[in-house]
Amino acid sequence: MTVNELKEQLNLTPLVEDDYDREVTDCYIGDLLSWVMGRAPADSAWLTVMGNINSIAVATLADTACIILVENAALDDNARQKAEMHGVNILTTPENSYSLAVKLSKLI
């Protein structure tokens, strides 16, 4: 399933669009960035409330397919800029991580 298909199926709002044709093969949930950094699988959809510049660095490092900011968590301006610069896909949803992940698990 691609990021774009996830967007359609889960009603996600796009925030930063780099490559929504990218395949999503896994899902990871976490907000402690140093923890996520070494654990989020590559090509996963990463569900988090952390929308700061460090999150963008973590997504780059872990090579996740996209960041999904849950519960309408805010994306900082400088984080948005870095995401655009480094090609990090970001979407958002009002749902919490659990309810989104339950739906996501049926799609990937």
Interface with another protein (CB under 8 A): 32-35, 37, 52-54, 56-58, 60-61, 82, 86
Burial class (CB in 10 A: 0-12, 13-18, 19+), 34: exposed
CA 108 to CA 66: how far, in whole Å? 14
CB of 101 to another protein, least distance (A): 23
* Secondary structure class of 93 (helix, strand, coil): coil
Of the pair 6, 69, the CB lying nearest another protein is at 69
CB of 35 to another protein, least distance (A): 7
CB of 100 to another protein, least distance (A): 22
